[in-house]
Structure 1
Amino acid sequence: MALEKYSVLVVNGPNLGYLGQRDTGVYGTRGMDELSAILKKDHPGLLDRVELDFFQANGEGRIIDRLESAWQNKTRGMVINPGALTHTSLALADCLGWIKIPFVEVHLSNIWSRDRIRQQSLTARHALGVVAGFGIMSYIYGLQAVVDCLDANNTIAEDE
């Protein structure tokens, strides 16, 4: 039996369009352009399981519009790094709560080791889980977790 290929949206919030170039001491030197290469080289089986769609916006409204579009298009899962909106956006948290697309929240840095406001996540309460502190690899770990959860839900559905 062939494994299902899932549509997964990877969302990056404000200031994440320059990963690998911006604040490299905090966020690392690897950019999102390297994610596909890492997947191809080190995780080809995972890459075979997903149809990835990447989105980045600095504006909260654009991100919410994209999430609502993902809901309309029946996107199966998401990996999201809301950036600073993690700590400030009730609107984003509300959207993630109602669209009910399974997602993993990811952060390049360990948000709990940073300043106090960054230790709070308004969006994580709707997430399957949070991966933080592993640089660009946080996305890969988050993606693997999304696929594992979707597989587990499909197995449960098949058993019923």
Structure 2
Amino acid sequence: MKKILIINGPNLNLLGVREKEIYGSLTLNDINKILIKKFKNVSLYFYQGNIEGEIVSKIGESIGKYDGIVINPGAYSHYSIAILDAIRSIDIPVIEIHLSNIYNREEYRRKSVTAQGCKGIISGFGYYGYIMAINALINKCFGGER
């Protein structure tokens, strides 16, 4: 069974409380439960961190443990060269997701530095972005295409 690590960055622990008009009313725990229920054919592992260095460490520790990563780097996506370098340092497919459409937001949110190291980016579909990313890993990355 394939193993997928889902990394959530800063402030995603506050989902369901913060800016519901942008991020929705589901909590991160709600989203995780939906994913577990939907994907019985893969093993999902969840990590949420507010500290950049801990996210970098988690990516580095993924070598040999996980077959794919879904990452929502939150605000770090816009400036974290450290997370980009960590993604580029591993030979594991990574897909970046954002709950909101970052291209329809403030100018500073419209660029994702970290996406440059990822297989793809999914933005603007709320929690369904996680489902899309896991499906992409299963069907595209694990299906032999890299």
Fold match, TM over 0.5? yes
Q: Which residue of 1 aligns with 2:25?
A: 29
CA contact (8 A) 2:36 2:44 kept: no
Cα deviation for residue 100 of structure 1 reads 2.5
Residues 96-111 of structure 1 correspond to what in structure 2 (within 5 A)? 96-111=87-102
| Contact in 1 for aligned 2:5/2:68 (Cα 8 Å) | yes
Q: How does 1:111-150 map to 2 (within 5 A)?
A: 111-150=102-141
The TM-score normalised by the length of structure 1 is: 0.85
Which residue of structure 2 aligns with residue 20 of structure 1?
Answer: 16
Name the structure with the higher helix share. Answer: 1
Alpha-carbon distance in 1 for matches of 2:124, 2:101: 4
d(CA) in 1 for partners of 2:113 and 2:32?
29
Residue equivalent to 1:74 = 65
Moved over 4 A (4+): none
Q: Percent identity?
A: 38
Compare CA radii of gyration and give the structure with the larger one. Answer: 1
How far 1:18 moved relative to its partner? Answer: 1.3
Distance 1:8 1:40, change over 3 A: closer
Q: Which runs of 5+ in 2 are unaligned?
A: none
CA offsets 1:122-141 (integer angstroms, 9 cap, x no match): 11112111111111111111
Once the two structures are superposed, residues 38-78 of structure 1 have per-residue CA deviations (whole angstroms, 9 ceiling, x without a partner) of: 3466x3xxx1221111001100000011111111x331001
The verdict on how the C-alpha distance between 1:39 and 1:61 changes in structure 2, with shifts beyond 3 A counting, is: closer
Q: CA deviation at 1:36?
A: 4.2
